[in-house]
Homo-oligomer: A and B are copies of this chain.
Amino acid sequence: MKQLIAPTLIVDERRARANIGRMTERALGSGVLLRPHFKTHQSAGVGEWFRDEGVRAITVSSLEMGAYFADHGWDDITAAFPLNPGAIDVASHLARRITLSVAVDSVETAEAVSRRATAPFGVFVEIDYGAGRTGVHASAVSTIEAIVAALAGGLAPFRGLLLYSGDTYRTTSRSEIISIFRRDVAELRGLKEALGDPASEAVLSIGDTPSCSIVEDLGGVDEIRPGNFVFYDLMQERLGACRFDDIAVVLACPVVGVYPERGEFAVHGGAVHLAADHLTYEEGERGYGDVVELTADGWGERVPGARVVRVSQEHGIVACPADLLERIRPGDVVGVVPVHSCHTANAMGVVFDLEGRRYPQKPKNVLAGDGAARYLRGDVSWSTPFDEG
């Protein structure tokens, strides 16, 4: 790994498998299905680590991602993102090959699905209860009832209620995260009961990494959909969802300049590699990633006081203490622990394990432009570039 000349995302497979194993056990112990979100790694190869732990059902964030994983042997996929009515034919196309579920959050989309689906897929109603992103607000019971009614009798039936507890990201209090989870579970159960007969078989689906990592008993719902936990990152560490040693990816970055006069060095590794997520530290300082030294078998502890403090397109600027600065030279390679591993993995598009094996992600934006029409014609290949490894 010391020979790298370009930013390279590396994964400690052992840590990632341990993270998957712990979440699998917790789901099993809680009597819920683990339907992990694959948006974090977006990689068929990493997906196999989940399969080895018995995972058979997955979550994705777009039909494009669903199509990619369908091509790589996954046949039970939920696209946990409000379905675009314009994409009903794409969903139908995909539903001919696998067990697909989608999400809707409006009567209008539900009616369009009911009219225009040409293959059977399940439809979750997305519920919003605090995250303020997408979903019908949990208090709008009559809207939820109308959506369920609109789906009745159609080719794409109501399947359940799906909620994303995004507000667990707004607190670092363990007890508050547990409260949010319990509140959301209770809300989903209450909604199911309020909906009565039409929802008697409704699947209750919930999940985000902070709550699923912190709450020990995840019972009360049918399935959980955490994603980030496979890699974790500094944000999850701050939320108390993981320990530093659970974080399974670092961006290996060549050092390209050393500036003792300002207590900084520069790495090749910027916003197009790390992504631009940051944490805020004491005195308002931003951190785009912590620094580790790479070792023969992975990476070491966090280097105290060394942090990426600015990024531009290709540059990362690391503020660091004098003792490290004295040892470091252009051409060295350091590890940067990402703030948000989903975005870093997405930005890189490929991850390497410690033995140097390549795990490419799905190709990006294949359905952009005329891609959907080409997909429906069967003209799109989902192979990843440089897949030959």
Contact = CB atoms under 8 A, between A and B. Distances in A.
Contacts of A254: 84, 86-87
A284 interface: no
Interface string A24-61: 00000000000000010000000000000000000001
Interface string A236-272: 0000000000000000001111100110001010011
Contact of A256 (B81, B90, B256, B358): B81
A349 interface: yes
Given A276-B275, A313-B39, A369-B356, A330 B134 contact: no
Contacts of A255: 84
A256 B133 CA distance: 11
Contact of A108 (B317, B330, B346, B363): B330
A142 interface: no
Copies of this chain in its oligomeric complex? 2
Contacts of A122: none
Q: How large is the interface on A (under 10, 10 to 19, 20 to 34, 35 or more residues)?
A: 35 or more
Interface in A266-289: 266, 268, 271-273, 275-277
A86 B3 contact: yes
A85 interface: yes
A5 interface: yes
Contacts of A159: none
A91 to B, nearest CB: 10
A6 B257 contact: no
Given A258-B106, A261-B137, A352 B372 contact: no
26 contacts: A7-B365, A8-B368, A61-B313, A82-B330, A84-B255, A84-B268, A85-B331, A86-B331, A105-B257, A106-B257, A112-B331, A133-B266, A134-B266, A166-B312, A271-B277, A272-B343, A272-B364, A276-B277, A313-B346, A348-B368, A349-B365, A352-B368, A352-B370, A358-B370, A363-B385, A380-B386
Interface of A: 3-9, 39, 61-64, 81-87, 90, 105-106, 108-109, 112, 132-135, 137, 166, 254-258, 261-262, 266, 268, 271-273, 275-277, 310, 312-315, 317, 329-331, 342-343, 346-350, 352, 356, 358, 363-373, 380-381, 384-386
Given A3-B86, A106-B330, 5 more contacts: A5-B84, A8-B365, A85-B330, A86-B331, A380-B386
